[in-house]
Amino acid sequence: MIIKEAIFAGSSTSFENRPVQKLPEFAFIGRSNVGKSSLINMLCGRNKLALTSSTPGKTRLVNHFTINNSWYLVDLPGYGYARASFRERDAIGGVIDGYLNNAPHLETLFILLDSRLPLQKIDLEFINTIGSKGTIPISLIYTKCDKLGITRVKEQVEINNQELLKYWEELPPYFITSSTKGTGKEELLQYIGDILKKLK
Ligand code: GTP
Ligand code: MG
């Protein structure tokens, strides 16, 4: 699949003020600073479509982008930003839950993990919470693989898989990516394209 057109469709804090078109959605979530917005830009071939920052906590709202006039990419705020105040964390958590608890057109929630790190407690908890609800299909995306090198990333992924298999009979699909190098772009777009084809 090729992304020909990507248009910012709006920011929202709740279902009421989300963009109104009923289109399939693919959303990106993960810890603050893991690279969600960068990955959306990489997939769309655009530098500044989603705003990125080296300071965690950049994305605070749910941002919809209309792709090829037929589906949405959704950039979500990061969870677990340690330096945010309790009140801010509550607000961000509320925005994330508000989206996930009422997302009838969400086809896949991509959970982003930093490929340099062992599976973090907060990520495992998030995966297990979403997974046990069983209502939202998930996939994992390992980010920033340029920083560590593919061999070491694959070793880390294998360790994470073993950890996940303690909780789950089956692993979710996973992708290894780098937004700076474009790694994983084809695979991810193909994956999304295949799901969209099945919906038709
Ligand atoms: P929040 O919106 O704050 O939750 O963060 P985010 O998950 O959207 O992260 P963002 O895309 O803003 O990226 C955070 C930082 O990581 C930025 O400084 C990016 O340049 C950097 N970054 C993101 N992806 C990559 C990558 O693939 N490789 C490298 N080397 N750096 C990356
Ligand atoms: Mg962001």
Q: How far is CA 83 from the centre of its chain?
A: 21
CA 36 to ligand 2 centroid distance, Å: 5
Distance, CA of 185 to chain centre: 14
Distances (CA, A) of 123 to 70, 103, 113, 190, 197: 31, 21, 8, 25, 30
Sign of the torsion formed by the C-alpha atoms of 116, 173, 171 and 27 = positive
Task: Give me 10's structure tokens.
Answer: 């709006």
Q: Which two tokens stand for residue 59?
A: 């994305």
**Domains (range + CATH), the chain:** 6-199 (3.40.50.300)
d(CA 164, CA 62): 28
Residue 28, classed as helix, strand or coil, is strand
Ligand 1 near 185 CB (within 6 A): no
pLDDT at residue 88 in the model: 81
What is the structure's pLDDT at 81? 72
Over residues 67-106, the pLDDT tens digits come to 999 999 999 999 877 667 778 888 888 889 999 999 999 9
Q: Which residues on neighbouring strands pair with residue 114, listed in sequence order?
A: 143
Which is the closest atom of ligand 1 to the Cα of 183?
Answer: 27
Predicted local distance difference test score (pLDDT) of residue 60: 84
| Pocket flag, ligand 1, residue 56 (CB < 6 Å) | yes
Q: Which residues of the chain have pLDDT under 50?
A: none
| The model's pTM | 0.96
Local structure of residue 178 (DSSP, 8 states): B
Give the pLDDT score at 16: 83
Predicted local confidence at residue 194, as pLDDT:
98
CA 30-35-36 angle, 5° bins? 60
Contact 19, 75 (CB under 8 A): no
pLDDT of 179 reads 97
Question: What is the model's pLDDT at position 82?
Answer: 65
Are 124 and 165 spatial neighbours (Cβ–Cβ below 8 Å)? no
Pocket test for ligand 1, best of 29, 44, 52, 181 (most atoms within 8 A of CB): 52
Does 19 contact ligand 1 (Cβ within 6 A)?
Answer: no
